[in-house]
Structure 1
């Protein structure tokens, strides 16, 4: 894959930034695409742009504001609380988001002569989002190839990793401090370690603490 080109679906968060570093290691040329869907924390677009500039990555922002109109949820409406009730999808789930993101990224990639798409979806710590499942990604990959008569490969480096393992991968890629200090995962729009209160921050911090504890244990042996 080293002589090929990839497009990374990029939000500026922990997962997509880890995937960006992964792509830089595995592909000769990497571009990043970010979607503006009038999300609750628009700072993520600025963070994504800043990271892309620092890494000297060609970065494109695409307008997907129609998604905001179609799928009201806690990530697109400030008057909808961020919550996860037992037996229900989290209020942060955006119907069709990954379907649309990857479909538009594929159209973009074909115009750029790229066959590889990289996304940070994960079935291990996926909060119940159906469009983060491996079966969905494999199905969409087939559909995109048929729809455009083009052989895409969708890569999901984090699919079977928990958050601790995602931190470990970042460390192995030499990007641990970068990702910890410069990414935005927090639903309340606070960079780095975030607000510490929202579900995204809890997941990120729990994984970080687990990885650091495991790393310390290995180093002491």
Structure 2
């Protein structure tokens, strides 16, 4: 089947990575839908931003209630009493046990009902903050499991898997979405739009990648 006629579901948070993936999917598939998960995150603005972006881009948007996940796996993203931190040799307090496992599984279930065979996610092993469920081996393993579980040939697409943050900015620029991603997305753990708070790990990673990409542009080179 021609990729232009295929349908894809994008796991969508309204952040830098998933928004870049949304533009990536819109360029490659004939029809794209987005799914956002409400898992009890502290900043409900995330769900609102995702809905707003999807509406502006004319993408059908689904919001699924995953609040039980926030109750089962307390973390810094769902509990204001838990500080955002990472101790040496330990997972960051922002890691949510089972999040990508459940998100991708529910996105695939939604995708099968919608007639989509591709599920797009912005997970990345290059700049992944130590999250085990962002690794390529996990995605490939789950891809096989989903196909067997539902007797349906899914493809879990990970366009950012081997890109660092600077290269992700470059991809957004290549897609004509650089300014949109820079100004309209919400990546910050503290719930601040655009450039964010500038201090949390997500903002530091995003800003460092942006500086590296802008330096490369100034030097006339690609990353």
Deviations 1:128-172 (A, max 9, x none): 000000000000000000000000000000000000000000000
Structure 2 residue 102 is the aligned partner of structure 1 residue 86? no
Structure 2 Cα separation of the partners of residues 42 and 131 of structure 1? 23
Cα distance in 1, alignment partners of residues 56 and 146 from structure 2: 31
- Residue 164 of structure 1 pairs with residue 159 of structure 2: no
Map of 1:102-181 to 2, 5 A cutoff?
A: 102-181=104-183
The one of 30, 33, 39 equivalent to 2:41 is 39
SS of aligned partner of 1:60: strand
Task: Give the Cα–Cα distance (whole angstroms) in 2 for the partners of residues 186 and 70 of structure 1.
Answer: 23
Question: Which residue does the alignment assign to 1:201?
Answer: 203
- After TM superposition, list the pairs within 5 Å mapping 1:10-29 onto structure 2: 10-29=12-31
- Offset, 1:84: 1.0
Secondary structure of the 1:218 match is coil
The whole-number CA distance in structure 2 between the counterparts of 1:91 and 1:181 is: 27
For 1:32 and 1:77, the matched residues in 2 are separated by 26
* Cα distance between partner residues in 2 of 1:25 and 1:151: 22
Please state how far the C-alpha of 1:40 moved relative to its aligned partner: 1.4
- Give me the CA root mean square deviation: 0.6
Tell me which residue corresponds to 2:101: 99
Q: Deviations over 1:19-46 (max 9, x none)?
A: 0000000000000000001101111000
The whole-number CA distance in structure 2 between the counterparts of 1:15 and 1:112 is: 24
In structure 1, the gaps of 5 or more residues are none
Kindly report structure 1 stretches of 4+ aligned residues shifted beyond 6 Å.
none
Unaligned runs of at least 5 residues, structure 2:
none
Q: How does 1:205-220 map to 2 (within 5 A)?
A: 205-218=207-220
- Calculate the TM-score normalised by the size of structure 1: 0.98
Which residue is 2:50 aligned to? 48
TM-score by length of 2: 0.97
Report the CA distance between 1:67 and its aligned residue: 0.1
